[in-house]
Amino acid sequence: MAGGYVDLFPREAYVTAEKPVNKPKFRVRDNALGTADFCPIVRLDAVPQAPSVIELFDEARRTLETLSDPALYERAVNYLNLSETRSSFAIEREQPSSEKQERFIQLLRRAGEPVVVDEDWLVDLQNTVVRDVFSQEASYRTTQNWLEDATGKISFFPPPPEDLRRLMDGWEAFLSERGRCNDVLVKAACAAFGFVYIHPFLDGNGRLHRFLIQHVLARSVPLPGGAIVPVSAVILKDIPDYLAVLTRFSRPVTNLWRYTRGDVSPMVIESPPSRAYRFFDATREVAFLHKMIRLAVQEEIPRELAWLTGYDVAFRQIDTEFDLPQKDISALIRMIQSNQGNISANRRKQFSHLPNTVLDRIQEIVRDTFFSAIGSKNEN
């Protein structure tokens, strides 16, 4: 090659840095995506080429622009934030309180904000997603943590605390660096999954990992009005694949640890060198995230917008025909929608003060307006 330098990673086989750096000592052109402190590796042939994330976000923008009413658009943005929030908690099998839910929604509204990526920023994010003061941290963890499965077996050992500082310095540089990895899909996947593999905090890592997907996407391809693509809502529908991606990293790296079980915590005999965490193949993570973004844009957003449209049509019609409290109308619409267009016998008992003829008519309205609105949206 020109100048006698050879590429560190063959460009025909791997995703490589856009601005490689020559290393005269070894006559190597360093085109790695990261540094020796944190360097994900992505095979080129496994990265989806079409539609690109840019194209998908253009599609999402066009879908959202069908909402010509500014008030409806704002409601749609709030609804997408709520969907992402509830799904992110549900992935961890948690039902958030209204306070925890609102805290995460506020965090999503910060996605894409111009920031200095450092420990202070991440600590602030962690303190936002974790409600209890005793779980809020002042720095990266200084003790070893681990994850267990339902049987109590250790399923993942993150890197030991003595290696954490170097890893996080590399991760922070990867997220901040503009000259190496500028592909938004690769950057979002590597940053988000790399973060959860490092597990820099004792609590809140999973939710922050999914927030980071939104942050990288919003920074590179923002949608109008702070709208987001509800990636977690799609992940929630494909948990086995999501867990398979995580396990593909966690299982082999955890097998490198030697430990015995103690009464409270494992007693570590030997941990692997930090390179087990500093260098990882993120090919599957990139492909998985692309699939989730594509499904969120092409299926989830149209479905959620159609739900809002159907709700509004049904609400107006019911409100026109009957003088009912708004909360009752809203509750009935949701009940009928969640029960495939029917009011169950138990639900009818809850509204026993209403004649069956009224409930039957409300059921008919929801079927005719709400479901037809969703159907017409899905056909387009």
Q: How far is CA 205 from CA 92, 130, 184, 209, in A?
A: 11, 10, 21, 6
Output the six-digit token pair for 316: 């107006």
Peptide bond between residue 20 and the one before it cis (omega within 30 degrees of 0): no
Q: What percent of the chain has pLDDT over 70?
A: 96
**Angle, alpha carbons 291-297-301 (nearest 5°):** 130
Distance of CA 159 to the CA centre of its chain: 23
- Annotated binding-site residue? 206: yes
- Annotated binding-site residue? 210: yes
- Annotated binding-site residue? 208: yes
pLDDT at position 217: 97
Per the document, the length of the chain is: 380
- Annotated binding-site residue? 103: no
Interval 177-229: pLDDT, tens: 887 899 999 999 999 999 999 999 999 999 999 999 999 999 999 999 999 99
Angle between helices 326-338 and 356-365 (to 10 degrees): 70
* Most confidently modeled range among 69-73, 147-151, 163-167: 163-167
Task: Determine how many CB atoms are found less than 10 A away from the CB of residue 377.
Answer: 18
Please give the single-letter amino acid code of residue 122. Answer: L
- Annotated binding-site residue? 203: yes
Active site residues: 199
